[in-house]
Amino acid sequence: MILMFLVPIQDENVSGGDVSDVDWTTDDESEINLNPVTTIVGNEEACSSRSASRSKMFDHFVGMGFSDKLVSKAIEENGEEDSDSILNWLLTFSSLEDSPPQQLSTNFDPCSSDYNEIFPNDLSDMDSWSDDEIEDCLKPNGAPNGAANGVYRSEKHKMLLSLAASGSLTEREEKLLSLADMGYPLEEAEIALERCGPKALIGELSDFLCAAQMAREEDCYLPDDDLKPKHLLSGSSKSKKRKFLEMKKNVIEESIRLPNPMIGYGVPSMQLERVHRSLRDDARAPPYFYYENVALTPKGVWDTISRFLYDIEPEFVDSKFFSACARKRGYVHNLPIENRFPLIPLPPLTIQQAFPLSKRWWPRWDPRDKLNCIQTAIASAKLTERIRSALERVESEADPPESVQRYVMEQCRKWNLVWVGRNKVAPLEPDEVEMLLGFPKNHTRGGGISRTDRYKSLGNSFQVDTVAYHLSVLKDIYPNGVNVLSLFSGIGGAEVALHRLGIKLKNVVSIEKSKVNRDIVRSWWEQTNQTGMLIDFDDVQQFDDTRIEQIIGSIGGFDLVVGGSPCNNLAGSNRVSRDGLEGKESSLFYDYFRILGSVKSVMRNNRFA
């Protein structure tokens, strides 16, 4: 049997490494005889028939381009009569056969943005890891205790294999074993079964696990300090497994229940019949404020945010109602909720509308019409080549086998791959991401900004059409323009939204840690011929009462305070330090609250309110 040992790598020739590689060589493989079986197990006739059958099956798959060694192993594992299982096995592992040795990289570069998410220095394919897998990879020889040639299975995995050999697996155990053989940790597979129910199909469970691994709409990565081996490897193996399982359960159990559909107080295509909310008097006082963060957080986070922000209930919205990609976010604000209007022209709402040239190549078995949340990481060239190779091997058939379709669809959903040719998929280009997120073309291009930085900045930005819909109510309130305090500004999502709404930006005070992002906003400000003043700072923690008083005394009060504090310790993909608002980065929410309170106080004292 085979263990898929998934390890992220850095690939010098592509945007990122490929984590679908595995190390599956075993001692048993050296004993496989590639010639037809000639051992007499019964009568001579049975042996001859069996030998001829295997020879025919062997030649058939070798003729399809699979290696002799791989075909022999596939027949050994799946039996001689089940050609579908053999093909499924070959397609799963042939794409991983030539993978180079890999090492765990912990080189991360924190950078703030609209959400101040953290991402790796190089964009790479990322995947789910258990503590044991990380520990094994960090050992000098790369192999766990008691493992031969680096191949390792947990005790529970071995037990399931033993039960399978004896034919005594329950339906639940069969599903667990299938998911484990696909490379998912058993701890995660068990949680998926708990969440999806005992009747869930393997495809549904795989989709759930894939979604959890990349944390769909909030692909935040861990800072360097949180990935140090000494932290990950502390404690015994059993205690680590227990802690990991408890942590995964807490991530799921503590997530708040989100509305379905996630349309907040309404979206352009779906309006609620009656919407009413009441705000406290101190919440109504100027300025207007608009706070955003990821929707899927540990239990209690949004309750805390609401409590600090005048007990205003969050408005949860999925940007799939505004664009061709999903982005689940929560917004706490004191803006009016009546008379909203969308940006014109309306953006494309499906993949085919956004990328009409893809229709020619889009296979009928790919049902997607929406992309998942835009990430800061993209798929590697190696992965897209493997998908092409897998499809070309079965090109003679009308549709690829179900196993191939499942493999391709899993990768397409995970990495937002689109069809660009016959059997060819590709990740989104930066300018395509700009379009999906509502930014002007080339918003992040040029000026010494690398391709990698473009993906980083865009992956952490506002979805402009969504934000503009909420901010549209300000156009009639401030016909002469607005003064904006933009905290955690990123690449200026709020500023772009206001500009596209036709709301004049009189003065914008922007606070953003990343110099790359500050340069992008400054360039956009100049290229759009803004007549107001842009003042930028690099640290919200240094933005104190004295500075607030000075700025308000100079430009007058603020009409809008907008921003979204870091989500690093909130998002589901952070397995090590998902500490909620007490985490190192996400605790900066309290600076948003502090600054908003100070602005209100200064404006009230200076009678700007």
DSSP for residue 312:
P
Q: What is the dihedral of CA 184, 208, 255, 257, to 10 degrees?
A: -170
Give the pLDDT score at 10.
Answer: 41
Q: What are the CA-CA distances from residue 234 to residues 143, 229, 240, 246 (Å)?
A: 18, 8, 8, 16
**Is residue 190 scored above 90 in pLDDT?**
no
Surface-to-core class of residue 170, CB atoms within 10 Å of its CB (0-12 exposed, 13-18 middle, 19+ buried): exposed
Going by C-alpha positions, the residue among 63, 359, 328, 146 that lies closest to residue 219 is: 328
Q: Are residues 589 and 447 in the same domain?
A: yes
Residues 472 and 577 in one domain: yes
| Cis preceding-peptide flag for 261 (omega within 30 of 0) | yes
Domain count, the chain: 2
Residue 46 scores a pLDDT above 60: no
Q: How far is CA 180 from CA 144, 246, 406, 487, in A?
A: 18, 19, 16, 44
Q: How many CB atoms lie within 10 A of CB 224?
A: 12
Max mean pLDDT among 14-18, 111-115, 527-531 falls in 527-531
pLDDT grade for 569, boundaries at 50, 70 and 90: low
- In whole angstroms, what is the distance from residue 140 CA to residue 199 CA? 43
Same domain for 428 and 572? no
Position 135 in a domain: no
Q: Can you tell me the distance from the alpha carbon of 418 to that of 4, in angstroms, rounded to the nearest whole number?
A: 26
pLDDT of 206 reads 74
Q: Does residue 158 lie in a domain region? A: no
Q: Domain check: are 342 and 358 in the same one? A: no
* Secondary structure element (H or E) that encloses residue 549, with its range: helix 545-555
Please state the φ and ψ torsions of residue 164, each to the nearest 5 degrees. Answer: -65, -40
Give the tens place of pLDDT for each residue, 222-243: 333 333 333 333 444 455 445 5
Together in a domain, 330 and 453: yes
Return the percentage of the chain with pLDDT > 70, whole number. 69
Q: 381, 416, 437: which is the final residue of a domain?
A: 437
Q: CB of 223 within 8 A of CB of 108? A: yes
Q: How large a percentage of the chain has pLDDT more than 90?
A: 47
Tell me what pLDDT residue 462 has.
Answer: 95
**395 and 516 within one domain:** no
> Which has more confidence, 32 or 478?
478
Segment 34-63 mean pLDDT: 50
Please provide residue 269's backbone torsions phi and psi, each rounded to the nearest 5 degrees.
-95, -5
Measured CA to CA, the distance from residue 538 to residue 112 in angstroms comes to 10
Do residues 450 and 308 share a domain?
A: yes
C-alpha dihedral, 356 to 362 to 365 to 370, nearest 10°: -40
Same domain, 557 and 589: yes
Beta-carbon count within 10 A of 48 CB: 13
CA distances from 78 to 49, 84, 194, 507 (A): 18, 9, 29, 69
- Is residue 385 situated within a structural domain? yes
pLDDT digits (tens, 9 = 90+) for 165-187: 777 788 888 888 888 877 778 87
Query: Are 342 and 357 found together in one domain?
Result: no
Structural domain range at position 537: 287-346+438-605
Residue 396 has pLDDT above 50, yes or no: yes
Residues 6+ apart with CB under 8 A from 66: 74, 90, 94, 393
Q: Is residue 145 part of a domain?
A: no
Same structural domain for residues 458 and 480?
yes
* DSSP secondary structure of 327-383: -EEEEEE----SS----SSPPP-SHHHH-GGGGGT--TT----SB----S----HHH
Mean pLDDT lowest for which of 149-158, 345-354, 364-373? 149-158
Please, what is the end-to-end C-alpha distance for the chain in angstroms? 71
pLDDT at 204: 75
Q: Are 497 and 464 in contact (CB under 8 A)?
A: yes
The verdict on residue 119 lying in a domain is no
Specify if 7 maps to a domain: no
- Whose tokens are 């079965």? That residue is 394
Instruction: Give the per-residue SS3 of 86-120.
Output: HHHHHHHHHCCCCCCCCCCCCCEECCCCCCCCCEE
Query: Looking at residue 94, what is its pLDDT?
Result: 58
Pair (461, 573) in one structural domain:
yes
Closest of 306, 284, 423, 276 to residue 361, by C-alpha: 423
Tell me the CATH number at 464: 3.40.50.150
Is 245 within the bounds of a domain?
no
Least confident of 31-45, 191-205, 297-311, 566-580: 31-45
- Mean of pLDDT over the chain: 76
Better-scored residue on pLDDT, 409 or 225: 409
pLDDT at 342 over 90: yes
- Smallest CA-to-CA distance from 248 within 152, 128, 115, 134 is with 128
Q: Is residue 433, in this structure, part of any structural domain at all?
A: yes
Element (H, E) at 509: strand 505-511
Residue finishing a domain among 385, 404, 437? 437
Write the burial class of residue 195 (CB in 10 Å: 0-12 exposed, 13-18 middle, 19+ buried).
middle
Number of H helices and number of E strands within the chain?
23, 11
> Does residue 604 carry a pLDDT above 80?
yes
Q: Do 473 and 571 lie in a common domain?
A: yes
Boundary-marking domain end, from 380, 411, 437? 437
- Contact in structure between 69 and 90 (CB atoms under 8 Å): no
